């Protein structure tokens, strides 16, 4: 039986960044993206809408752009919505615009060059039609000695109300985060998008919270946002 979303996140003392595709009790297809941070630089970030209709992670201080910390988090591409934890969101959206299929667009990505943790790149391509499919892609470093990227793909078809799938970049203690599980099936029996955001936010470790977004792919760029500085 799927674990409740809040219980699943409670088991992750430091989840890093995460992507969620789910359906709430009111039958709405929803997506969510969140980020947490261990360092001051990672916490000095916000999710901001851009003139081109994207949602971007930007610095809230004067530091320069950092490709691993500042990136488009949600963007339209090929009539779908793409969201994830890095610059690959723009790459995938551009590939969809060029006519590639979701699986083709998600292929060829690599994990982040940030030793020793080698953060996975997590990306979701969501159909905007009610009940439409979503494609998850995860570019991960092997748990063994191999340096070649492991690329995992999951097609998620229609969800029933209260069902969801969650990916996080990390699991384990903040002092030594390990790569998160390939994916977690979770339950989201919450009334609506606002309740989902409340539950998601409250489940993130308070000392590491940065920002979270919940949106219906069919209605994007309409989005509900929460920041640690709110």
For residue 194, the tally of other CB atoms under 10 A from its CB is 12
Contact in structure between 27 and 186 (CB atoms under 8 Å): no
Instruction: Write out pLDDT tens, residues 21-54.
Output: 999 999 999 999 999 999 998 999 999 999 999 9
Spatial distance between the Cα atoms of 152 and 155, rounded to a whole number of angstroms: 10
pLDDT at position 62 over 80: no
pLDDT band at 67 (very low <50, low <70, confident <90, very high): confident
How are beta strands 170-171 and 29-36 bridged, if at all?
Answer: unpaired
Contact in structure between 17 and 169 (CB atoms under 8 Å): yes
pLDDT at position 133 over 90: yes
Structure tokens at 5: 């979303």
pLDDT band at 144 (very low <50, low <70, confident <90, very high): confident
Residue percentage of the chain with pLDDT more than 70: 100
Could you tell me the pTM of the whole model? 0.96
Instruction: Classify domain 3-227 at the CATH superfamily level.
Output: Inosine monophosphate cyclohydrolase-like (3.60.20.20)
pLDDT at position 122 over 80: yes
* Structural domain spans, the chain: 3-227
Contact in structure between 183 and 124 (CB atoms under 8 Å): no
Q: Which of 212, 221, 211 has the alpha carbon at shortest distance from 76?
A: 221
Give kind and range of the element (H or E) at residue 178: strand 178-179
């Amino acid at each position: 039986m799927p674990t409740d979303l809040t219980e699943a996140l409670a088991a992750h003392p430091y989840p890093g960044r995460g992507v969620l595709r789910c359906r709430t009790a009111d039958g709405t297809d929803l997506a969510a993206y969140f980020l947490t941070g261990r360092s001051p630089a990672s916490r000095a970030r916000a999710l901001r809408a851009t003139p081109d209709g994207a949602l971007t992670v930007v610095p809230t201080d004067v530091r320069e752009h950092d490709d691993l910390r500042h990136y488009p988090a949600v963007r339209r591409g090929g009539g779908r919505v793409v969201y994830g934890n890095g610059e690959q969101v723009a790459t995938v959206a551009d590939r969809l615009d060029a006519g590639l299929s979701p699986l083709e667009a998600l292929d060829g990505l690599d994990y982040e060059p940030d030793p020793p943790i080698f953060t996975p790149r997590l990306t979701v391509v969501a159909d905007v039609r009610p009940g439409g499919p979503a494609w998850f892609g995860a570019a991960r470093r092997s748990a063994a000695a191999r340096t070649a990227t492991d690329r995992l793909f999951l097609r998620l078809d229609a969800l029933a109300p209260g069902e969801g799938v969650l990916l996080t970049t990390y699991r384990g203690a903040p002092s030594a985060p390990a790569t998160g599980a390939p994916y977690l099936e979770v339950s989201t029996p919450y009334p609506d998008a606002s309740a989902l955001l409340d539950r998601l936010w409250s489940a993130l470790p308070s000392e590491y919270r940065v920002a979270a977004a919940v949106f219906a792919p069919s209605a994007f760029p309409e989005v509900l946002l929460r920041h640690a500085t709110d």
